[in-house]
Amino acid sequence: MILKAIFSFFLGALLILAFEPFNFWILSLIIPFLILISLERQNPKFSFILGYFFGLGFWLIGIFWIENSINVYGGANAFISSLLTIVLSMFLSLFQGLIFLTYSFLKVDNFLTRLFLFPSVWVLSEWLREFLFSGFPWLYVGYASIDNSLINGFIPIAGIFGMSFIIILLSSSTLELFKNVKKPNLNSIILSSSIILIVCLSNIFLIRVNWTKSINEIDIVIVQPNIGIKEKWTSSGKRESTDIMGRLLLKESPRLINKADTPKLFFFPEVFFPGQFSDFGFYLKPFLTLTEKANVGVIAGTLSKNAEENKIYNSLISFGSLEGQYHKEKLVPFGEYVPYSFFNYFFNFFNFSRPEVSVGLNNELIKGDGYSIFASICYEVAFQDLFFKYGSQSNLLFSASNDAWFGETIGPHQHLQIARYRAAENRKPLVRSTTSGISAVVDEKGKIIDFIEIDDEISKRNNSQELSLKINLFRGATPINSYGKMPIIVLLLTILMVSSYLKLRRISEN
């Protein structure tokens, strides 16, 4: 039993290699296959234990970058930050335990159940994790499909949950074929081999389908200021931020004479202006006329305040040839707000500062002359519903982030992979500007066009980096844009109910 639990822990840790920065996506197919073998003839109780240890290996390795945020920037010492990260990993491991338990309890000796039940409960647990207890939509196995040329043509159709289902279904289908070597079952062989062939052959066609259409080209500049989080909020940090913007925008003065027709857009990261935007109004005033007449648009992160309601928002503002603003809708639990009043005692006990950011409502797209941009902030890129809501109407996606919280860990790489997936899901190019990396330009199929690496000299002044290039804007919508995630969720719930019925009938017969 102990050896099996250790092996399950090892499989969970190994699955992290399927994600960035390692990107051994083949493991996302192999490991579920090995899991299913390990669950053969296991009772529900022991299956839960195996699932829990699998989850523990998965989360401890996969999200230990959170310790960096709590330790370096949250005010906790190394012991407390490690302990809190372990506690979070132990809690999240319950979801994997639930997957294994449900599968073991409901499975019957039926090849249809063996094929479809495990993929269904796996993906339903990911769906629960999206919204339960404030949500943590991270490390869905479907994200490993972004570079998987065998199946990634399905991304605009299936979305993240559909791709997770396809990956696990391919694993269970492969296992079913292996089982038929000793005990052939014609129906089982036909169905499992058909699933594998249909998915792989259909993908050859789907990767060539252009769900959206290129309309025109614009010039863009992605700015990565490389100012440390602590330094940013000092007077010298604020001055450095404004100096970076001023230096870059003044270079565009010749466009006033040339009367450039092609718009040029500057993208700055989350909270680029360290403070409320109104505090920087005097400094920005000279640039408002310059950018507007030079056909230059600017999007930058800042804090904004609603004076009437006395609320602070994490915002993206625009000026010049762009207009509109965006207030962050999906806030980071404990980082930007306290999800439950009970946790106020927790913040008081550890003497942590309490976050006070409010949820943004009634957002609109940021618009230019004949095009629009859906701008999201940091953690929000993991929420596909936001992109279903705004993505189909936009021509370009923008993700502003502050991944300096994660340091030089695997966190920024995972974050970028999720952003790439949103581009592929919506078939729209995505621009990503971060405080200290990884900033990138991603094409409409999720491939990185160019990027700026994580800065390893973040404390050095005047160390900003820029990425300038041309990019095509796109219009249109993908199938997943149109119908969203609910069809796949309904399908999975139906499979779960049918499996439950078959199990109950088997019990009553015995």
Would you state the structure tokens that stand for residue 458, as one six-digit string?
């973040």
Per-residue pLDDT tens over the stretch 130-163: 988 778 899 999 999 999 999 999 999 999 999 9
pLDDT at 405: 79
Domain of residue 356, CATH code? 3.60.110.10
Answer yes or no: are the C-beta atoms of 424 and 446 closer than 8 Å. Answer: yes
Q: Residue 468: which H helix or E strand, with range? A: strand 465-475
Q: Residues 42, 174: one domain?
A: yes
Q: Residues 464, 492: one domain?
A: no
Q: Please check whether residue 340 lies inside any domain of the structure.
A: no
SS3 readout for 291-357: HHHCCEEEEEEEEEEECCCCEEEEEEEEEECCECEEECCCCCECCCECCCCCHHHHHHHHCCCCCCE
Q: Please check whether residue 376 lies inside any domain of the structure.
A: yes
From CA 302, how far away is CA 238, in angstroms rounded? 12
Of the chain, the percentage scoring pLDDT greater than 90 comes to 57
| 371: nearest Cα among 205, 183, 144, 218 | 218
Task: Share the mean pLDDT of the chain.
Answer: 88
Q: Please check whether residue 31 lies inside any domain of the structure.
A: yes
pLDDT at 183: 79
| Overall average pLDDT of the 80-98 stretch | 91
| The residue type at 270 | E
Q: Residues 248, 196: one domain?
A: no
From CA 504, how far away is CA 497, in angstroms rounded? 10
Answer yes or no: are the C-beta atoms of 366 and 325 closer than 8 Å. Answer: yes
Residue ranges making up the domain that contains 279:
214-332+345-477
pLDDT at 205: 94
Cut 0.75: pTM above it: yes
CA terminus-to-terminus distance, the chain: 29
Answer yes or no: are the C-beta atoms of 412 and 381 closer than 8 Å. Answer: no
| 397: nearest Cα among 446, 438, 355, 362 | 446
Q: Residues 219, 193: one domain?
A: no
- Number of C-alpha atoms within 13 angstroms, CB side, residue 276? 11
pLDDT at 120: 96
Residue 324's φ and ψ, nearest 5 degrees, are: 120, 165
From CA 379, how far away is CA 399, in angstroms rounded? 9
pLDDT at 354: 47
Q: Residues 112, 136: one domain?
A: yes
Per-residue pLDDT tens over the stretch 197-256: 999 999 999 999 999 999 989 999 999 999 887 788 788 888 888 889 989 998 888 776
| Sign of the dihedral through C-alpha 127, 130, 131, 136 | positive
Q: Residues 429, 496: one domain?
A: no
Q: Residues 283, 410: one domain?
A: yes
Q: Residues 201, 221: one domain?
A: no
Would you state the structure tokens that stand for residue 390, as one six-digit string?
């705004």
From CA 412, how far away is CA 15, in angstroms rounded? 18
From CA 123, how far away is CA 489, in angstroms rounded? 9
Instruction: Give the chain's domain count.
Output: 2
Would you state the structure tokens that stand for residue 188, as one six-digit string?
């089982």
Q: Residues 271, 417: one domain?
A: yes
CB atoms within 10 A of CB 223: 24
**In sequence order, which ranges of 39-154 are alpha helices (DSSP H)?**
44-62, 66-68, 78-106, 111-131
Q: Residues 423, 388: one domain?
A: yes
To 10 degrees, the CA torsion angle through 332, 335, 339, 340?
160
Q: Please check whether residue 459 lies inside any domain of the structure.
A: yes
Per-residue pLDDT tens over the stretch 283-316: 888 888 888 888 899 999 998 887 677 788 899 9
Q: Please check whether residue 337 lies inside any domain of the structure.
A: no
Would you state the structure tokens that stand for residue 185, as one six-digit string?
């079952």
Q: Residues 285, 417: one domain?
A: yes
Q: Residues 360, 490: one domain?
A: no
